[in-house]
Every structure is written in C-alpha cells, then in structure tokens.
C-alpha cells in the first residue's frame, strides 16, 4: 500500500516531540507567567543540572517555541508569542483533571490553592479571579460569549473610560476565550485580556505571589473592581 503523507505531519510530529519531555514541559508551564527567565532559574525550578537545562532550552528555541534574549553574560528565554502560550495552556487544560495529585506538603498545597484562586496565564488573568472578571464583564454587557468572545461597543468604551489602553492595530484577536484548566470554563484572553492584566499589575490592583504565577487582589484592586464592575470584595479573595 502506498503511504500518503500529509505535508503538515512532519511539523506536527516535531512539535509534539519538543513538548513530549517532562523537563521541557515544566519549562513551558513556568514561562506561562509571561516573564523572561534565565537558564539557571529554570534549571533550579525543574530540579535539573544547568547543562541539562541548556540542552533542553536550545531545542525549544530552535523549534520556535521559545525566544532568546541576551543581556551581558545572562541568557534569558521567554515564550515565543501568545500562540505558544495558548497551545501550552490548552494542552494543560486537557490533562490537568486526570493529572491532579494529592499535595505532598503544606507549602505545595498553599501554592496550588493560590494558583487556583488567581494567576497569570501568559499575559492575562486566570483562575477564579479571571473567571470572576470575565463573568462581571459579561453580566454588564461589556463582553459577549454567546457567539464567541467579543467586546461590545459598550465594552470598548468601558476600557477607554477605565484608562485601559487597547492595541487594535495588531493581528492578535481583540478578545478570545481561553479554557481555564482549574475552573474548566473560559476566561478572557486576547488583546483585551492582556491589557486588563497589565493595567491591574501596573496599578497594583493585583500583585504577584512568590515566584509562581499566582496573583492576589490588593485592597486597592478590590475598590477598583467594585467601582468598575460591581464585584464584591469577597468574590476576589
């Protein structure tokens, strides 16, 4: 029998091969925080030798999943773009329910709880915080989910009046749904999700917790989200 090859198959197989390693998967998940990490930081995070980390990172950079930046003697890597972040988050959402394990320590349990409560997913907010904000935007008619994720005209005006700048010139979707792997529901991503997240961090409505992707809402954030979206403080804690 003649084998009929799909021209996409080699690339798909190569992509799957890059992700199909636990150490590389740990790196990709860590980099979902949207920040650039050094090879040493990732090595310590994954619990592998620096030489091992460098080998894996080289493969991910060569494969286009990571971008590399150098500052002096330091080498930084980050996810190549939002499409890579979406791929990693979508894959994590598919396997997370079956991969859940009992926390091995109180610290691990606390980290998992903080991540579920609120975290960054590359450049937008996720976890219960992301879902709460997405639901509030939808209830107020600022975001539509019935025909896919789309900001309404009122929603666009809301971003303007809230002082949250939206970049409408790029090819990235203005808004899209991203399946939340802890809540099993979509939260707001795309340009609007990124703008809201960046503004929340810059205005210190939210602050990062430790070295993980977890974030928490500050008292200033509770007041801002109450004024702008009518969210009760208890829903943000």
Provide the pLDDT for residue 95: 74
The proportion of the chain whose per-residue pLDDT surpasses 70, expressed as a percent, equals: 90
pTM: 0.76
H-only helix segments in the chain? 9-19, 22-30, 39-46, 50-62, 82-99, 106-117, 127-139, 153-161, 190-202, 219-229
Tokens of 74: 């330091």
Which comes out higher in pLDDT, residue 7 or 12? 12
Provide the pLDDT for residue 232: 95
C-alpha–C-alpha distance, residues 149 and 112, integer Å: 28
38-64 b/e with 16+ CB inside 10 Å = b? bbebbbebbebeeeebbebbeebeebe
Residue 16, CB half-sphere, CA atoms under 13 Å: how many?
6
The CATH code for residues 9-80 is 1.10.10.10
Provide the pLDDT for residue 2: 54
Provide the pLDDT for residue 69: 87
- Summary mean pLDDT of the chain: 88
Q: Give the model's confidence band at 112: pLDDT under 50 very low, under 70 low, under 90 confident, else very high.
A: low
Residue 132, pLDDT > 80, answer yes
Domains of the chain, by residue range, sit at 9-80, 103-236
C-alpha–C-alpha distance, residues 130 and 155, integer Å: 17
Q: Among 21-35, 44-58, 86-100, whose mean pLDDT is lowest?
A: 86-100
**Residue 5, strand partner residues:** none
Q: Give the model's confidence band at 169: pLDDT under 50 very low, under 70 low, under 90 confident, else very high.
A: confident
């Amino acid at each position: 029998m003649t084998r009929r090859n799909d021209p996409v198959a080699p690339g798909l197989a190569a992509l799957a091969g890059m992700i199909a390693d636990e150490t590389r998967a740990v790196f990709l998940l860590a980099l979902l925080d949207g920040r650039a990490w050094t090879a040493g930081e990732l090595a310590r995070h994954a619990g592998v030798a620096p030489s091992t980390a460098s080998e894996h990172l080289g493969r991910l950079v060569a494969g286009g999943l990571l971008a590399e930046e150098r500052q002096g003697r330091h080498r930084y890597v980050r996810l190549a773009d939002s499409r890579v972040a979406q791929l990693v988050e979508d894959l994590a959402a598919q396997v997370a329910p079956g991969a859940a394990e009992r926390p091995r320590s109180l610290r691990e349990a606390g980290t998992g709880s903080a991540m579920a409560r609120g975290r960054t997913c590359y450049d937008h907010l996720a976890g219960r915080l992301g879902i709460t904000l997405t639901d509030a935007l939808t209830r107020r008619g600022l975001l539509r989910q019935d025909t896919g994720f789309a900001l309404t005209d009122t929603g666009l005006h809301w971003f303007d009046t809230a002082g949250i700048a939206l970049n409408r010139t790029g090819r990235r979707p203005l808004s899209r749904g991203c399946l939340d792997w802890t809540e099993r529901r979509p939260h707001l991503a795309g340009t609007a999700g990124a703008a809201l997240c960046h503004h929340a961090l810059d205005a210190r409505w939210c602050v990062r917790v430790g070295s993980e992707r977890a974030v928490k809402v500050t008292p200033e954030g509770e007041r801002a989200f109450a004024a702008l979206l009518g969210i009760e403080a208890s829903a943000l804690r």
